[in-house]
Chain A
Amino acid sequence: MNNIDKKIAVLKKEKKLGLMTHAVVGYPNMGKSIEIIKILAQYSDFLELQIPFSDPVADGETIMEASEAALKNGMNTDKAFEIIRNLNLRVLPFGSPMSTHKGTPAMGLPASRHPLVRLRTDKLTPVLVMCYYNQVFRYGMDRFCKKARESGVSGLIVPDIPPEEEKKERFIEACLRYDLYPIRVISPASGEERLRINAKYAKGFVYSVSHFGVTGTKSELDKDLQIYLRRVKKYFNIPIALGFGISSPDQIQKIKGMVDIAIVGSAIINTYNRDGLKGVDTLVKSLKNCTIQKENI
Chain B
Amino acid sequence: MIFDYKTKYDADTSGHFGQFGGRFAPEMLIPALEELEKAYIKAKKDTDFEREFLSLCRNYAGRPTPLTYANNLTKQLGGAKIYLKNEGLNLSGAHKITHCLGQAILARRMGKKRIIAETGAGQHGVAAATVAAKFGFECVVYMGEVDVARQRPNVFWMEQLGAEIIPVKFGSKTLKDAVNAALKDWITNVRNTHYLLGSTVGPHPFPSINRDFQQIVGLEVKEQVKEMEGKLPDYLIACVGGGSNAMGLFYRFLEDEEVILIGVEAGGKGVERIGKHAARFRGGEVGVVEGYKSLFLQDNYGNIEKTHSVSAGLDYPGVGPQLAYLGQVGRVQFEYATDREVIGAYKLLAKTEGIICALESAYAVAYAIKLAPKLSKEKIIVVNLSGRGDKDIFIVAEAVKDKNWREFLKTKLT
Contacts and interface: CB of A to CB of B under 8 A. Distances in A.
B64 to A, nearest CB: 38
B171 A213 contact: no
Given A55-B289, A139-B302, A212 B190 contact: yes
Contact of B27 (A55, A134, A168, A189): A189
Contacts of B26: 57-58, 159-160, 185, 187
Given A57-B180, A134-B298, A138-B298, A213 B304 contact: no
28 contacts: A54-B303, A54-B304, A55-B176, A55-B180, A55-B303, A57-B180, A61-B170, A65-B170, A77-B302, A133-B24, A133-B288, A138-B298, A139-B301, A159-B27, A160-B24, A160-B25, A161-B24, A165-B22, A165-B23, A168-B16, A168-B19, A185-B27, A189-B191, A190-B27, A194-B27, A194-B30, A212-B190, A212-B191
Interface of B: 14, 16, 19, 22-32, 170-171, 176, 180, 183-184, 187-191, 285-291, 296, 298, 300-304
A58 B30 CA distance: 13
Interface string A41-79: 000000000000111011011001100100100001110
Contact of A165 (B24, B31, B32): B24
Contacts of A160: 24-26, 288, 291
A239 to B, nearest CB: 18
Interface of A: 53-55, 57-58, 60-61, 64-65, 68, 71, 76-78, 132-135, 137-139, 159-162, 164-165, 168, 184-187, 189-191, 194, 198, 209, 212-214, 217
Contacts of B27: 159, 162, 184-187, 189-190, 194, 198, 209
A6 to B, nearest CB: 27
Given A55-B290, A57-B180, A57-B184, A189 B301 contact: no
A65 B28 CA distance: 21
A134 B187 contact: no
Contacts of B25: 160, 162
B188 A212 contact: yes
Contact of A138 (B23, B24, B32, B287): B287
Given A133-B288, A134-B287, A189 B302 contact: no
B303 A53 contact: yes
Nearest to B22: A165
B301 A138 contact: yes
A213 B28 CA distance: 8
B23 A135 contact: no
Instruction: Specify which of B19, B176, B189, B300 lies most central, judged by the most chain A CB atoms within 10 Å of its CB.
Output: B300
A76 B303 CA distance: 9
**Which 6 A-B residue pairings sit nearest by Cβ, starting from the closest?**
A138-B302, A54-B303, A134-B302, A187-B28, A159-B26, A54-B304
A53 to B, nearest CB: 6
Contacts of B189: 212
